[in-house]
Structure 1
Amino acid sequence: MPRGKRVALVGGVGGGNTGNEVSLDVVRDLLRAARDDLRFCVVTPMPVETTTRGLAHPGEPVLPLRAPRSTAGPRTVGAVLRRALAEGRHTCRVVHEVGGMRALVVCGTGVLDDFEEPPWGMPWSLLLWAAVARVRRRPFILLSVGAGPIGGRVSGRLFRATAALATEVTYRDADSLRTMVDLGSVRADARVTCDLAFGREVAPGPAAAPGPGMRVAVAVMDWGGWSGDDEEARGQYLATLTEAVVGVLDRGHRVVLLVGQPVDVGPAHEVRRSVLSRRPDADLRVADIGAFDDVVDEILGADLVVATRFHLVVAALVSARPVISIGYAPKNRALLTRVGLAHVDRPAEEVTAAWILEQVDAVARDGARYRGSDEVIEGWRRLVRDEVAALATRIG
């Protein structure tokens, strides 16, 4: 197949983030269903891990989103020159690769924020690919992406430039569109759609049965504030979850701990150890999660989900489960508001164990108030499919 038939799927895959990975899978699967003449490559900041995890299908090249970098050692003149040389080589490779592509599609997720990302990370890397695509006259599509919060001024400018260079821009929620407009990115053609993960087919499972003795899935995140290195925030978050899990167990409910990506495993086991130090006889395990579908399988066996990561909230909604959100960013509330559940979210830096337990008790009394609108969620499933099918017709 000629290289010109290749579509680049751009995403932060390889690190085990189940939301990022399912978003890329949805776009690939739907484009393939609409156009059997297209072939794909994956562009990611973690090419080695992406290959190792088998996230690229057979025959699909895996390309590095950014130049290899090292933070080790002092910033000597030699180190700066080596960095500049690496960036130059990478840019030349990007120019060459983009010339052989039919289009580049950034596959959703919160790519336009600076959560644990410096300006020279995702912000700069996206801008480089967008700029090269413009020079090589290839479509660069921001598809159902999330934007904000953006704390750094430099990152904000880089993201604004990327949106300006994009051929098409759709956002997964109105808050994302508003964030970019506030940054000065005003495009008459920008539209609000929904998160791509809603396009994933989910086999129906048993209905949730909230009430006495219900099974509660508590999803733990490796959260240390927006910068990622706030140890006080991390400690308070884990202590709050520990206290909440103890309270849930003392109410006679069952608990399983979930994770959304590998970095969450350590914190989840930390919560487990803390709970078992207080309730040694508790039956409490950390679920073995490898992909979004694994998360859904676990959730389908639960009656309530308590989650921090955005895509675990999404997984609860597509699984028709009551959900309580401990949001690490406003995107959780933005999503839940659209399905009639603004009342189930509390920011991670403000949440208390008492509030979580109040919500658990409320779910046990009336779980329907904590379930998203089936009509809206089904509409989103159709919307994702229609959006990607329409995109397939615009790829030359």
Structure 2
Amino acid sequence: MRAARETPVRVGVFGLLGSGNLGNDGSLEAVLGYLRAEHPDAAVDALCGGPEVVAARYRIPATRLHWYRGEYRTASRAGAIVGKGLGKLVDAFRTGAWVRRHDVVIVPGMGVLEATLPLRPWGFPYALFLLCASGRLFGTRVALVGVGAAPIGSRPTRALVRWSARLATYRSYRDALSRDAIRAMGVDTARDEVYPDLAFALPAPQAPSSPPGGQVCVGVMDFHGGDDDRARADEIHRRYLEGTTRFVRALVDEGRPVRLLTGDECDAPVVAAILDAVDSPLVTAADAASLADLMKETAAADTVVATRYHNLICALKAGTPTLALSYAAKSDALMDRMGLGAYRHPAREVDAERLLEQFRELERRSAELRETLAERNLDATRQLEHQFTALTAALFPTTAQAQAPAQRHAHDHDHAMRETR
């Protein structure tokens, strides 16, 4: 018994981490913060998309998610097609061997149960299924923590997502729409909970030393529609880019400084296109390497207009009045949760004139909305504390049992103090 307690619990983290998406990495950072605070003796490593980045930035061992390095490039030649096919077989063994070495595997946030952006079933959905099936096979607890889900049109993708969710030991979601989507796929969600996105657990940025000077942050995205929009992806992208550019130009014409934000490496061409089209010293681009960097940028702004989900979260977490260029139901749910549900504009149909009207209304209510965001952020912090307590109980039962007497003692002490007063 003593030897068993002295052996550190082995925890793996899994996902498209270190691959250039700041939102995914922010979710990882939140979970690592929880593990280091509540389970400091845990031995943590990763199976992820960008192992070099994860190892260097977060100081944990990391292994490449896919054996075939060209997994997310289009395979047009015979050699690439064979490589991808062989990689699927090799990954089944690699994933199983990795999972078997762990007591617990955590998938930290991310939209792993959705296809709101173009997605092939044999890509990440297949990888997630291998993870969850391996966990069930080898008795490793697999937790999908604060994940996003949405209705999926593709039958193969939907089947892989459904079975992944069923095979996981623990599930929680970043909004009620995600839980509803998984329930509609035939998964029993009676014990599943909904909490704010994990990024709300990250440290809040410091308030700017001086009041914002009229700057507007505009978060852009390499947006081509969703998985069901492949036939008109180019047209959707053109309309999004043209409408966003017209909006930025209108702000510049009013003398407003504009700071362009991204959330993924693939967004860089959109920034370049806007800079080229507007061609003004009032428009600059941020070089953010983390969600913390994005939060600092949004905290220094008067107002934020953004597309990417985690651009929105950073702005809302910073307490800055925000308007969403919404491309999925998750963005709408987030804005509703934070009390700004009225400030949404469709990313597929960006109308610069209407967007400007909504923007001006947002700015008129700025002081009121900042108070609303302060209240909602406090509530999000409390809810995520409950999330991590529930996660410990589900995945680290020995630790939870050890903490219970101390928690009861603290509760009894607080009760006695109240009685004395």
**Native 8 Å contact 1:223 1:234 kept in 2:** yes
TM-superposed CA distance for 1:361, in Å, is: 1.5
Q: Deviations over 1:173-220 (max 9, x none)?
A: 01111111122222221111110000001133139968xx72110111
Counterpart residue number, 1:143: 145
Provide the secondary structure at the position in 1 that maps to 2:94. Answer: helix
1:61 CA displacement: 2.0
For 1:359, the equivalent position in structure 2 comes to 358
1:324 maps to which residue? 323
Counterpart among 23, 28, 49 of residue 32 in structure 2: 28
Corresponding residue of 2:49: 45
- Provide closer, same or farther for how the CA distance between residues 271 and 3 of structure 1 changes in structure 2, counting only shifts above 3 A: farther
Larger radius of gyration: 2
Contact 1:4 1:101 in 2 (8 A): no
Relative to structure 1, the CA distance from residue 184 to residue 207 in structure 2 (aligned partners, 3 Å threshold; closer, same or farther) is: farther
SS of the residue aligned with 2:17?
A: coil
Q: What's the counterpart of residue 168 of structure 2?
A: 166
Give the 3 Å change call, closer, same or farther, for CA 296–246 of structure 1 in structure 2: same
CA distance in 1, matches of 2:120, 2:51: 19
8 Å contact from structure 1 (residues 248, 360) kept in 2: no
Aligned residue in 2 for 1:381: 381
Go from structure 1 to structure 2 and tell me whether the alpha carbon gap of 1:208 and 1:162 turns closer, same or farther (over 3 Å shift). farther
- 2:419 alignment partner in structure 1: none
Please show how residues 104-183 of structure 1 align to structure 2 within 5 Å: 104-114=105-115, 115-183=117-185
The question of whether the paired residues in 1 share the 8 Å contact of 2:11 and 2:104 is answered with yes
**Where in structure 2 are there 5+ consecutive unaligned residues?**
399-421
SS at match of 1:373: helix
Kept in 2, the 8 Å contact 1:299–1:316? The answer is yes
Relative to structure 1, is the Cα distance of residues 368 and 184 closer, same or farther in structure 2, using a 3 angstrom cutoff? farther
Can you list the C-alpha shifts for 1:316-372, whole angstroms capped at 9, x where unaligned? 111000001001211110111112211111221123101211122213322146545
- Bigger mean CA deviation after superposition, 89-98 or 302-311: 89-98
Identical aligned residues as a percent? 32
Which has the higher mean CA deviation after the structures are superposed, 8-17 or 313-322? Answer: 8-17
Q: 1:95 matched to which residue of 2? A: 96
Show the counterpart of 1:263: 266
Aligned CA RMSD, in angstroms, stands at 2.4
1:218 aligns with 2:189: no
2:196 aligned with 1:191 = no
Q: 1:232 to 1:79 in 2, by over 3 A?
A: closer
Per-residue Cα deviation, 1:249-281 (whole angstroms, up to 9, x for no partner):
2223221111112211221121111111xxx4x
Shift of 1:303: 0.7
State whether residues 31 and 389 of structure 1, in contact with CA within 8 Å, keep that contact through their aligned partners in structure 2.
no
Among 224, 240, 245, the residue aligned to 2:243:
240
Q: Give the letter aligned to residue 112 of structure 1.
A: L
1:343 is paired with a residue of what secondary structure? coil
User: Structure 1 residues 289-298 or 373-382, which shifts more?
Assistant: 373-382
The count of residues paired between Structure 1 and Structure 2 equals 384
Aligned to 1:283: 282
The answer (yes or no) to whether the contact 1:198–1:380 under 8 Å persists in 2 is: yes
Q: How far 1:85 moved relative to its partner?
A: 4.0
Residues 306 and 325 of structure 1 are in contact (CA less than 8 Å); yes or no, is this contact kept in structure 2? yes
Q: Cα gap change, 1:139/1:208 in structure 2, threshold over 3 Å: closer, same or farther?
A: farther
Cα distance in 2 between the residues matched to 1:351 and 1:208: 33
Give the Cα separation in 1 of the matches to 2:373 and 2:351. 27
Counterparts in 2 of 1:91 and 1:321: CA distance versus 1, 3 Å: same
Q: Which of the residues 2, 10, 21 maps onto 1:6?
A: 10
Q: Is the 8 A contact 2:165 2:187 kept in 1?
A: yes
CA distance in 2, matches of 1:174, 1:208: 38
Decide which moves more: 364-373 or 289-298. Answer: 364-373
> Residue in 1 aligned with 2:312?
313
| Shift, 1:151, TM fit | 3.0
User: Counterpart of 2:65?
Assistant: 65
Q: Residue in 2 aligned with 1:343?
A: 342
For each residue in 1:98-148, what CA deviation from the matched residue of structure 2 results, as whole angstroms up to 9, or x when unmatched?
221010111012111122220011111101010000010111111110002
Go from structure 1 to structure 2 and tell me whether the alpha carbon gap of 1:79 and 1:376 turns closer, same or farther (over 3 Å shift).
closer
Aligned equivalent of 1:274: 277
Equivalent pair of 1:12/1:20 in contact (CA under 8 Å): yes
Alpha carbons 2:321, 2:363 under 8 Å: kept: no
Distance in 2 (alpha carbons) for counterparts of 1:208 and 1:359 = 26
